[in-house]
Structure 1
Amino acid sequence: MTDHSADADHSAEQSLRTEQSLRIAFSPCPNDTFVFDAWAHGRVQGAPAIDVTFADIDLTNGMAERGELDILKVSYAVLPWVLEEYTLLPCGGALGRGCGPLVLTRESGVDLTGKTVAVPSERSTAYLLFRLWAAEVVPGGVGEIVVLPFHEIMPAVRDGKVDAGLVIHEARFTYQEYGLHSLADMGEHWETTTGLPIPLGAIIAKRSLGEERLRELAQVIRSSVRQAWDAPEVSRPYVLAHSQEMDPAVADQHIGLYVNEFTADLGEDGYAAVRGLLTRAAAEGLVPAVGAGALSFP
């Protein structure tokens, strides 16, 4: 005989856990799964449960603009549109040096004037860095901008569907496999002109969670990062399960490049990079201006 009351109790318990879980979205890329593995699998003591959604950056940026989830990995470029509802957490994101987006073409030395360019998101930091670069280097202006999931961009360039592609993540290590050329490095341009690290992906959380909870979440993320660093082999199954058949060596390169000291704490240089990006972009009329205290963490 089936114990329906036990089933009901179990269902109620599961429902309660789901209701209490914080809803979080981040990409299936190795740096994100590496960072959040310990938290997602209940290995951070005292951390709240999380209900994870995997989504590419264009989707998470849209979720943030609609205020759909509690915690999100988004582009720094989307912050001016979401900081009223979300706060920037001082950890968990992606900044660094030598890790910027690349503009790829089938032939070297292509003039992008009037050309079609595929980008991962019109709200992405990659696209914002591209627009700042193009304003200086392509005075005639590029042509049509096409938004594609980042893993579709290199095949589209290779197959001639677009003239150029703006790529992120592990494409830095794999674009030559597609027979493509790097026309320009947006990160190199940014670092040369500013001296600052490259701000790419941010972790944001709803202000409505309250200052105490937000501070707790920052500590949870830092603990999850430290556990991943201390025992990287533990996160490996989670990383490889979501890395879209990526070569494990490439996944390791990806993590090594994007998970660094800024992931544990933005610090003075990290905040300077974020402020610099948004201030420069606002001056060019590319994003709304951000108030002086908008980036402050509780």
Structure 2
Amino acid sequence: MKIAFSPCPNDTFVFHAWVHGLIPGAPKLDVTYADIDITNGMAAGSDGPDVVKISYAALPWVLSEYALLPCGGALGKGCGPLLLTSNKAGGIFDPAKLHSSRVAVPSERSTAYLLFRLWAAQNVPGGVGEITVLPFHEIMPAVRDGLVDAGLVIHEARFTYPAYGLTLMADLGNWWEQDTDLPIPLGAIIARRSLDLSAISSWIQESVRYAWAHPKASSEYVLHHSQELSAEVTQAHIKLYVNEFTEHIGEIGYKAVASLLSRASQEGLVPKVDLERLYL
């Protein structure tokens, strides 16, 4: 079975047991590790993987072939994307100034960028100047080095951005939570509709439970793929992004996804979604 997910600690932690043949009855996995912008594109292609991690914001474009699985993804509170700028002279600290600024984002179909666009509609009169897509690990160096004026970051960057001399302009997760009182739907696990979706969901849930029951078993695997992050940062990352919604999205999680996609479609940012097609 072909699967694609990111090398980030939360994904490798979640899928460690299945990847390493520790889930009875689960098929062997052929894994592709890729940045979220790449996996979003893979799912939209005609020969995408059987199972793939994508941004919730990319769901409207792939629901004809894929179904959202109720587990394995990333939702939560206090874990949303951050908009950062530089501490150096000339740093852009007033959101209104983004109208004439260059902003780096991790993917045009990322949840981070979708939240940013919804936030900017309220806070940046006239819209944002120029958008540049960069792999998420290149964004903070680009802001630091003055290649862009601001950067939208995700994942472990919320723990490491001060080391780059950067300053928080906006926590888009906090903005979303205050506006909706719902968790932030970040990353989704989807599978081809032609497959046994219930079985795949069961294998993922078993992998999540194994990870929680044996938290040290995946340490070497997680660190190997974590792009030289420290053990402390990887553990903080896992603690933040692997939670009860990872085991099962639940009613509140589905409500958050429906709210995000409905609001985005009303703003003309994504195609209108038949929300019934989200479910197994």
Residue ranges of structure 2 left out of the alignment (5+ in a row): none
**The one of 122, 137, 146 aligned to 2:123:** 137
Please show how residues 280-295 of structure 1 align to structure 2 within 5 Å.
280-295=263-278
Residue number among 66, 88, 93 corresponding to 1:109 in the alignment: 93
1:13 matched residue in structure 2 = none
Q: TM-score, normalised by structure 2?
A: 0.96
Partner of residue 61, structure 1: 40
1:127-206 pair list within 5 angstroms: 127-206=113-192
User: Could you say which residue in structure 1 is the equivalent of 2:8?
Assistant: 29
> Is 1:276 aligned to 2:259, yes or no?
yes
Q: Which runs of 5+ in 1 are unaligned?
A: 1-21
Q: Shift of residue 274 of structure 1?
A: 0.3
Contact 1:157 1:163 survives alignment (8 Å): yes
For the 8 Å contact 1:114–1:140, the answer to whether it is kept is: no
Q: Percent identity?
A: 66
**AA of the residue aligned to 1:26:** F
Counterpart pick for 1:96 among 41, 56, 76 = 76
What is the CA distance between 1:292 and its match in structure 2? 3.4
How many pairs does the alignment contain?
273
Q: For the residues of structure 1 that align with 2:137 and 2:128, how far apart are their CA atoms? A: 22
Q: Secondary structure at the match of 1:91?
A: coil
RMSD: 0.8
Q: Is residue 213 of structure 2 the alignment partner of residue 225 of structure 1?
A: no
8 A contact 2:92–2:150 mirrored in 1: no
Match of 1:5 in 2: none
C-alpha distance in 2, partners of 1:141/1:80? 23
What is the CA distance between 1:70 and its match in structure 2? 0.6
From the CA coordinates, give the structure whose radius of gyration is larger: 1
- 2-side partners of 1:184 and 1:131: how far apart? 13
Matching residue's letter, 2:274: G
Partners of 2:127 and 2:115 in 1: CA distance: 15
Contact kept? 2:51, 2:191, Cα under 8 Å: yes
Q: TM-score, normalised by structure 1?
A: 0.91
Q: 1:74 maps to which residue?
A: 54
Pairwise CA distance, 1:140? 2.0
Q: Distance in 1 between matches of 2:16 and 2:53?
A: 14
Aligned with 1:251 (options 234, 253, 257): 234
SS for the counterpart of 2:80 is: coil
**Counterpart of 2:100 in structure 1: which amino acid?**
G
Deviations 1:191-246 (A, max 9, x none): 0100000000000000011xxx2101101000000000011100101100000110
Q: Tell me how far 1:112 sits from its aligned partner.
A: 1.2
Which residue of the partner structure matches residue 17 of structure 2? 38
Output the CA distance in 2 between the equivalents of 1:142 and 1:251. 33
Q: Residue 261 of structure 1 corresponds to which residue in structure 2?
A: 244
